[in-house]
Structures are given as C-alpha cells and as structure tokens.
C-alpha cells in the first residue's frame, strides 16, 4: 500500500456505516477491518438496533475510534443504514454489515478511483464469499447488463451480480434519488441499484476484491431465503411496469416461477391447497413435479 498521508492525490472523504444487531461473533472483526485500513479521510459509524448479546460491549470498546455510534431499538437493518447515511459527511458512502469485512487496501483503492475519475457516480468491486469460520468459498465479481431490461431479464445466459459489500457511491446521489426504502428488509440494496440504473447511471466495475461477504446459518441470506424472494417479487413487479409489453411479459413469467417456488417451499410440498386456489398452476411443470415428489414421499 502506498503512503496515503504523503500521496499527491487528494483522497475523498469516505463514510462507512455498519448496521449491527446480535452479531457479536463477527462484529469486532468487521470494525477492525475498517479501522485498520489506515485511510486518512475516513468517517466510520456503527448503528446498533439494541443487541441483546455482547455487541454493545464491543462497540463501546471502540467508541473513541468511531465517528458516531447509535445504540437504540430500530425498525431493522434498512432504518439503521439510513440513520448512518443521515449522519454521513463523506463524499463517498457505503455500508458494511456486521458479519462482513473490508479487505486490506480496499479504501485506498476506492478513494483513489473516485479521486481520479470524477465523473463516476458509483463503483462495484469483487467480494470473497466466506463461511462462518472465515474460509473463502469463492470469489464473486460484479457482472451484468446494467440497463433496466438487462437486470430484469437476467438468467438464461444473462447473469447479474452486484455483491453489496463491494459497492460504493457518491453521497450526492441520495439528494437526487432518496435514501433506502425502509419498507424493505431483504433487498433494499437491489432496489437502490435499480433506482440508480433507472436514472441512467451505470456502475464502474473494478477488477479488485474489496470485501468479504459472509454466509452462515444466522445470516438473512441463508436463514430467510423466502423473505428475499417475496421482496424481489414486489420490487421487480413494480419496476417491470416501466418496460415495454414484450419484456414485461418475460419478466412476469420469471416472477411467476419465483412465486411458485416460494409457495412450494413454504408449504413443504403440500401444494394441493394452493393448486385448488389456482388450478392453472397445473400447467406448470414445476408444480407438477412438486406434486409428484410429494405423492412419492407419501407412498
């Protein structure tokens, strides 16, 4: 890493927000991964929603090194992030969940890019997917067609991925497009990416790993997959209305598949009551296979 304090480039102020709730097993590692960056123009704050484990003890032990701390009940992760964004004074912002980490040198990479590319509004770098003990399972880099139709028609050879811990943007975008949608608890990041894309802004993709993204039994991604599906159905159904009819029909077909998958999972194979309410579902190979699978298990 170069000496940031003597670098001739004027590095922008970066605000990092960590929303925290009952992740004491990982929280200190998250905090240290930010503070140990050595970035000279950093604002870092932790917003805790009233943890009942020893998270607050960890936060208090670092309070003198944090720029702001809020410990109070809240309406969930999205509200916590918005509380942090409201306190942000950095030109560049991003959030880091309390079980994820920044990789060494990440803030220098981010700051240097924004300093030397003043026209870039937001960037996305790669993430290392890790498990509960920190073992790397894979590296994921952002990819996709970053237009509204491109994102909405993903799949079938049209990949889309923007791993949240590796995404950073100019705080001025919130003045134009608003904060995160607090009615969302699972895909608030995805909805914000759609908002940026719908406004005509495209992310600059960096060929650098910036963060880790931890998947473990208590993470929402693993523990509550149907929560993500149901919010995606609502968010994508809303944005699909602005697409031309042929594209909208393709999106609705994909969303229908997601909805059926969600119902099948929630009913644990007992899909007949749902099928009786929606007999046209029998046209779906997905539903017929679920019924056959349940009948075979019952035999």
Q: How would DSSP label each residue in the chain?
A: ---TTT-SS-PPPEEEEEEESS-HHHHHHHHHHHHTT--TTEEEEEEE---SSSHHHHHHHTGGG-SEEEES--S-HHHHHHHHHHH---SEEEE--TT-EEPTTHHHHHHHHHHH-TT--EEEEEEEEE-TT--EEEEE--BS--SHHHHHT--SS---B--GGGEEEETHHHHHH-S--TT-SSSHHHHHHHHHHHTT--PEEEEEEEEEEE--TTSHHHH-HHHHHHHHHHHHHHHHTTS-HHHHHHHHHHHHHHHHHHHHHHTTT--HHHHHH-GGGGG-HHHHHHHHHHHHHH-
- 205 and 247 belong to one structural domain: no
| Enclosing domain of residue 247 | 225-298
Same domain for 141 and 271, yes or no, is no
Same domain, 182 and 204: yes
Distance CA 82, CA 86 (A): 6
Domain identity same for 189 and 230: no
pLDDT of residue 253: 83
Number of separate domains in the chain: 2
> Cα(101)–Cα(29) distance, rounded to whole angstroms?
7
CATH number for the domain harbouring residue 57: 3.90.550.10
Whether residue 7 is contained in a domain is answered as no
CA distance 264 to 278: 13
For residue 55, give both structure tokens: 């998270």
* Same structural domain, 232 and 195: no
pLDDT recorded at residue 279: 60
Domain check: are 107 and 191 in the same one? yes
Residues 250 and 132 in one domain: no
Whether residues 292 and 202 fall in one domain? no
* Separation CA 83–CA 232 (nearest Å): 24
pLDDT at residue number 286:
61
The verdict on 204 and 285 lying in the same domain is no
Q: Which value, to the nearest 10 degrees, does the dihedral of the CA atoms of residues 248, 254, 259, 262 take? A: -150
Q: What is the pLDDT of residue 275?
A: 63
The per-residue pLDDT for 259 is: 80
* Cα within 13 Å of Cα(16), Cβ side: 29
133 contacts: CB under 8 Å, gap ≥ 6: none
Averaged pLDDT in 10-residue chunks for the chain of 299 residues? 56 98 96 97 97 96 98 95 97 97 98 97 96 89 94 83 96 96 96 97 97 77 74 95 93 84 68 63 60 49
Flag whether 148 is in a domain: yes
pLDDT of residue 298: 40
pTM reported for the whole predicted model = 0.86
């Amino acid at each position: 890493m170069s000496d940031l304090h003597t670098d001739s480039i004027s590095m922008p102020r970066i605000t990092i927000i960590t929303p925290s709730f009952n992740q004491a097993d990982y929280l200190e590692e998250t905090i240290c991964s930010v503070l140990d960056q050595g970035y000279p123009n950093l604002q870092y704050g932790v917003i805790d929603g009233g943890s009942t484990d020893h998270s607050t003890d960890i936060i208090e032990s670092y309070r003198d090194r944090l720029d702001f701390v809020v410990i109070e009940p809240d309406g969930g992760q999205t509200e916590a992030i918005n509380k942090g964004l409201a306190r942000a004074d950095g030109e560049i912002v991003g959030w880091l969940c309390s079980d994820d980490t920044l990789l060494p040198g990440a803030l220098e990479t981010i700051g240097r890019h924004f300093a030397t590319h003043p026209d870039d509004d937001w960037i996305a770098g790669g993430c290392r997917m890790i498990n509960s003990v920190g073992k790397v399972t894979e590296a994921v880099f952002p990819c996709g067609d970053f237009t509204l139709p491109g994102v909405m028609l993903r799949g079938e050879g049209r990949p889309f991925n923007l791993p949240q811990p590796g995404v950073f943007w100019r705080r001025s975008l919130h003045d134009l497009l608003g904060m995160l949608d607090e009615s969302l608890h699972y895909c608030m990041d995805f909805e914000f990416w759609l908002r940026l894309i719908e406004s005509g802004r495209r992310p600059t993709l960096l060929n650098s790993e910036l963060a880790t993204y931890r998947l473990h039994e208590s993470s929402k991604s693993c523990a509550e997959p149907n929560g993500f599906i149901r919010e995606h159905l609502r968010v994508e159904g809303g944005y699909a209305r602005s697409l031309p009819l042929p594209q909208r029909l393709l999106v609705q077909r994909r969303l229908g598949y997601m909805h059926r998958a969600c119902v099948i999972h929630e009913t644990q194979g007992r899909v007949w009551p749902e099928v009786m309410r929606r007999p046209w579902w029998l046209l779906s190979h997905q539903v017929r296979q679920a019924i056959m699978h349940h009948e075979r298990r019952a035999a």
